[in-house]
């Protein structure tokens, strides 16, 4: 099911090594002091941070936080405008230009079940009718999760917590990627036709994807990263599965790129890295790549 990994990472958005563990200490090499890496999940509430053993100590012991992005680049007016523009179809096109009448009917039926209205509603069409299929996929996945998990506050999730906590204590915040890079990777990395195909996969198999989203959440809240990886690796053996090239673009190529930046960041200051938990496990995951680079990576109990 690498496909769900794709959807969740676009919220962009989306995960770590031994048994039930999300937090790891990085030491050795030329580091004078250890750094830490924690796997996040964009649908987890801030309160979940208290469930991760040793996390508060790691936050106190480190001198800066590094995320996939410096979220200040996203929340400033220019960043928000660029993100919104990336989520829209080009050249003034709408979904009616890229979906057949039959596909649009299937989309409307799905939306009616999910949110009680559809693209025949002028206000809904105005808000969502110009969005790319990929952006809609992201929005619908979030809505599905919120529907099955009442009380979720999208403005109070764990992804931004570490950076906010660092800034409140006057600690620097840095990012492994730029907004422009994430826009290219997450929003412009697929053709419109492929985006449409994946959107219809969600529309036509909503129960399956809802179950996968629930399984990922359960695995994360259990801090069972082996299970997270197993769910991400599940396959339907259809065109809805992500391709190896798509997996590489979303996870493995980014991991390799991050590893070229992390040594200098850690050498400068003891750092708490907070990245999607799906980036951590496996032979091409960050934990293994860090070990291969000569660092000692240990689960924090």
Answer whether residue 282 is part of any domain: yes
Instruction: Name the pTM for this structure.
Output: 0.88
Region 224-244: mean pLDDT is 91
Answer whether residue 230 is part of any domain: yes
* pLDDT greater at residue 17 or residue 187: 187
Domain that holds residue 6: 2-88+131-299
Coil, helix or strand for 176?
Answer: strand
**Best CA proximity match to 209, nearest among 194, 229, 193, 231:** 231
Is the pLDDT score of 16 beyond 80?
no
Which positions ≥6 away from 262 have C-beta within 8 Å?
A: 66, 176, 273, 290
Q: What are phi and psi of 21, to 5 degrees?
A: -155, 135
Mean pLDDT of the chain: 90
Q: What is the pLDDT of residues 48-57, one digit of tens each?
A: 999 999 999 9
The β-bridge partners of 25 are 36, 298
Which positions ≥6 away from 101 have C-beta within 8 Å?
A: none
Answer whether residue 143 is part of any domain: yes
The β-bridge partners of 36 are 25, 272
Answer whether residue 222 is part of any domain: yes
Answer whether residue 96 is part of any domain: no
Answer whether residue 243 is part of any domain: yes
Answer yes or no: are the C-beta atoms of 28 and 226 closer than 8 Å.
no
Answer yes or no: are the C-beta atoms of 119 and 98 closer than 8 Å.
no
Give the per-residue pLDDT at 301: 84
How many domains does the chain fold into?
Answer: 1
Give the distance from CA 75 to its chain's centroid.
17
20: pLDDT confidence band, cut at 50, 70 and 90? low
262: pLDDT confidence band, cut at 50, 70 and 90? very high
Which tokens in the block code for residue 47? 């309160």
Q: Apex CA 226: angle with CA 37 and CA 141, to 5°?
A: 85
Q: What is the pLDDT of residues 188-219, one digit of tens each?
A: 889 999 999 999 999 999 999 999 989 999 99
Answer whether residue 101 is part of any domain: no
Answer whether residue 23 is part of any domain: yes
Which positions ≥6 away from 200 have C-beta within 8 Å?
A: 103, 106, 107
Region 148-158: mean pLDDT is 82
Of the listed ranges 81-90, 148-157, 226-235, the least confidently predicted one is 148-157
């Amino acid at each position: 099911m690498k496909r769900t990994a794709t959807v969740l990472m676009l919220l962009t958005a989306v995960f770590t090594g031994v048994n039930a563990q999300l937090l790891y200490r990085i030491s050795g090499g030329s580091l004078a002091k250890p750094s830490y890496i924690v796997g996040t999940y964009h649908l987890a509430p801030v309160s979940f941070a208290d469930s991760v053993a040793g996390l508060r100590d790691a936050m106190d012991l480190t001198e800066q936080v590094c995320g996939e992005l410096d979220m200040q680049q996203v929340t400033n007016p220019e960043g928000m405008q660029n993100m919104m523009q990336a989520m829209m179809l080009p050249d003034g096109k709408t979904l009616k230009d890229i979906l057949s009448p039959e596909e649009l009917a299937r989309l409307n039926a799905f939306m009616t079940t999910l949110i009680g209205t559809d693209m025949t509603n002028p206000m809904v069409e105005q808000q969502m009718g110009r969005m790319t299929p990929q952006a809609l996929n992201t929005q619908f996945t979030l809505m599905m999760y919120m529907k099955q998990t009442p009380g979720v506050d999208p403005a109070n999730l764990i992804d931004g917590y570490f950076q906010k906590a660092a800034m409140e204590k006057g600690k620097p915040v840095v990012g492994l990627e730029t907004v422009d890079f994430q826009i290219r990777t997450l929003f412009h990395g697929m053709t419109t036709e492929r985006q449409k195909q994946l959107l219809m996969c969600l529309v036509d198999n909503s129960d399956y994807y809802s179950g996968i989203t629930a399984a990922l959440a359960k695995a994360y809240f259990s801090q069972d990263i082996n299970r997270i990886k197993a769910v991400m690796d599940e396959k339907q053996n259809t065109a809805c599965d992500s391709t190896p090239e798509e997996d590489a673009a979303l996870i493995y190529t980014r991991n390799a790129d991050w590893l070229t930046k992390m040594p200098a960041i850690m050498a400068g200051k003891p750092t708490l890295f907070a990245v999607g938990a799906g980036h951590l496990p496996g032979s091409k995951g960050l934990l293994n790549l860090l070990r291969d680079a000569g660092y000692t990576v240990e689960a924090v109990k």
